[in-house]
Amino acid sequence: MLLNYLRKLDRISEKGYKRVKTIVLATGMITLAVGLIINRFTGDNGILAFFSGFLIGLSIVANIAGIILHRPLCKN
């Protein structure tokens, strides 16, 4: 991923890398919660179903990216 590449080249600080990791995971959790709340408490409206699906899809991508960012780097 781009962040791991920048981290290996020392183009991003360790503090900035940790901040991005935290923001990505928080974004994934918040979008999942909002998407599920919209899906649960609103009727079958087309535009709200679109936003609910969009937010849930965005949360899947953000959570997978967060898992990838939290894996340890190989120091070979």
Dump pLDDT digits (tens) for 29-64: 999 999 999 989 887 788 999 999 999 999 999 999
- Mean pLDDT confidence for 11-19: 80
Confidence band for 4, pLDDT divided at 50, 70 and 90: low
Residue 14: predicted pLDDT = 78
Q: Please say whether the beta carbons of 66 and 25 come within 8 A.
A: yes
Q: What is the pLDDT of residue 73?
A: 64
Name the token pair of 36.
Answer: 């599920």
- pLDDT (tens digit per residue) in 65-76: 888 888 776 554
